[in-house]
Amino acid sequence: MFPSPLSPFQFSIPSIHLTLYTHKEEEPKLTAKSQILTSQIRSEIASCSETAYPSLPISSTKNLLFLDSEGAVVEFAKSRGWTITDGRIYFPKQGKSGADDAGSQMELSRMTIENTLGYARELETIV
């Protein structure tokens, strides 16, 4: 099926997001927006990874989260409260209550959709 845990996530990113990420250096107007979008995508991928995997290698996580170095992965992991041992990132067990988690997920989803639609409108005016 997929050669690594990275492939399903990378293929699931909508093409506009991947295009913004890969061409962010070429268009200065898109740099700020692409940084925000990349941050949101990175956060969503991190949340999905926490749910889907008990752990991932640091090198795979670097590619998965579009980070530039393994040091950046370590920083990101610490900011999310992940444990790093022997070159692997271990995700905390999901112990949140269903109601709190569902409410925060709905709010996060709503904000992401609103922001993405706003970016799409602005991108249309640029193109």
Q: Which domains does the chain have, with CATH numbers?
A: 6-97 (1.25.40.990)
CB 71: neighbour CB atoms within 10 A? 11
**Who has greater pLDDT, 35 or 28?**
35
The torsion of the CA quartet 28, 36, 110, 15, rounded to 10 degrees, works out to 60
Provide the whole-model pTM.
0.53
pLDDT in tens, 50-81: 888 899 999 899 888 888 899 999 999 999 99
Question: Tell me, what's the pLDDT at 73?
Answer: 92
